[in-house]
C-alpha cells in the first residue's frame, strides 16, 4: 500500500469516529522527516483517544502498519501518531487553535480530504 492510500484510510477512520476539520498537507517538498500531515479535531479527550484507536486498528488490520511513535494519548489534548511517511495530529479545538499547525506549515500543499475519501 502506498502512502496516499494509507492517508486515505486514516481519514476514513477519523470520519468514522466523527472527527472534524480534516486537513491533509503534503509537506514532502519542505520536510525531511515526513511527506504528509493529517490534522483533525475531536471534541473531547475520549473522542480524541477513540479516533487514535480507530486509526491504529485500521492501519494494523489492513496495512499491518503500526506507528513508530505516539505522543499525548493520556492527556489527549494533542495526540500525535508518527507513521514515518505521514504524521497524524488529533487536536482538541483549543489546542488546534493555539498551535496553528496549518499556519506553521502553510508552505505545504493542501490536499482535498473530501475528494480523497470520496
Res 113: pLDDT: 83
CA 65 to chain centre: 15
**What residue numbers bound the domain in which 59 lies?**
3-117
From first to last of the 118 residues of the chain, give the pLDDT tens digit.
799 999 999 999 999 999 999 999 999 999 999 999 999 999 999 999 999 999 999 999 987 899 999 999 999 999 999 999 999 999 999 999 999 999 999 999 999 888 877 7
CA 79 to chain centre: 9
Q: Could you tell me if 41 and 89 are in contact, meaning their C-beta atoms sit under 8 angstroms apart? A: no
Number of domains, the chain: 1
Q: Residue 76's domain is classified under what CATH number? A: 3.30.460.10
Res 38: pLDDT: 97
d(CA 12, CA 6): 10
**Residues 7, 11, 17, 23, CA torsion sign:** positive
d(CA 36, CA 28): 7
Amino acid at each position: 500500500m502506498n502512502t496516499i492510500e494509507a492517508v486515505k484510510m486514516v481519514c476514513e477512520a477519523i470520519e468514522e469516529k466523527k472527527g472534524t476539520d480534516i486537513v491533509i498537507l503534503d509537506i514532502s517538498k519542505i520536510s525531511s522527516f515526513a511527506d504528509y500531515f493529517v490534522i483533525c479535531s475531536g471534541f473531547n479527550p475520549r473522542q480524541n483517544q477513540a479516533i487514535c484507536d480507530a486509526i491504529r486498528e485500521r492501519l494494523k488490520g489492513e496495512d499491518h502498519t503500526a506507528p513508530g511513535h505516539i505522543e499525548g494519548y493520556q492527556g489527549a489534548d494533542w495526540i500525535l501518531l508518527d507513521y514515518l511517511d505521514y504524521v497524524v495530529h488529533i487536536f482538541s479545538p483549543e489546542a488546534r487553535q493555539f498551535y496553528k499547525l496549518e499556519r506553521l506549515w502553510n508552505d505545504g500543499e493542501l490536499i482535498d480530504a473530501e475528494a480523497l475519501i470520496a
